[in-house]
Amino acid sequence: MLTVFDLLRRIQQYKNLFLNRITQTNKGELVSLLASSNFFRSSIPNYENLTAGLYNLANFVTNKKDKINFDEKNLYALKNLNKAISNPKWLRRLDPNKQIYMKTDASQLAIGDFVYQLDGQNILPIQYYSKKLTKCKRSRCATYLELYSIVYGIQKCRALLSGRKLTIYTDHKPLVGLRIGTNISKYMELLFSIEDQEYKLIYKRGCENHMAYF
């Protein structure tokens, strides 16, 4: 059985292997790099937004040996990915005696959730979740995407919640009254999928909601 120290040592080895990779010159090398980065996704805020451009670049090329041409935007994304993996957000074990919080955000490209607890003023990261939106979802309005982000976060961390109350912070004010004041089917369908979870939804402006644009 692996001890905590064995696990930390293995994670450090994975991180070193990733950071010491040669510069990617073809599709096969880029796909391999992205597959390796997936190991760290739960410790990287907004992983989907961070890697979306790189995945699109890899999908644009047909054959594994075909040359990849990085533009300035993709080089910047690659740099940020390396930076994120060199300094991952170390996650904490859930404390059953502490309140659980979630911050959410959504864009036209991806959604993301941050689950955490507090120790005084110190934030204790529990888990990061992110998901790239399908073309169909990208055309939805902001309110739908923000609600979809909440639903996705709750569904992903049900094992952590397990009957516990959740406090959710959002920077999208229309969501606060939506729970009891809508008869729109697309919203009701999402709300129905999480009605078994006890939660409190609190609005915070974007400048106060540190999850926004995380």
Q: Where are the domains of the chain?
A: 4-86, 100-203
**pTM score over 0.95:** no
- Helix (H), strand (E) at residue 18: helix 4-19
Query: What's the confidence (pLDDT) of residue 45?
Result: 78
The predicted pLDDT at position 17 comes to 60
**Cα–Cα dist 40/120, whole Å:** 27
Beta strands in 96-187 (DSSP E): 100-106, 110-119, 122-132, 166-170
Rounded mean pLDDT of 128-150?
A: 91
Mean pLDDT, residues 97-123 taken together: 91
Give burial (CB, 10 Å; 0-12/13-18/19+) of 2.
Answer: exposed
Whole-angstrom CA distances from 105 to 58, 120, 171, 187, 201 are 26, 24, 8, 17, 13
Judged by DSSP in three states, 166 sits in strand
Q: What is the mean pLDDT of the chain?
A: 82
Tell me the average pLDDT across 115-134: 89
**pLDDT, tens digit, for every residue of 50-64?**
888 888 888 888 888
pLDDT of 165: 93
Query: CATH says 100-203 is which class?
Result: alpha beta
Task: Give the pLDDT confidence score for residue 115 in this predicted structure.
Answer: 92
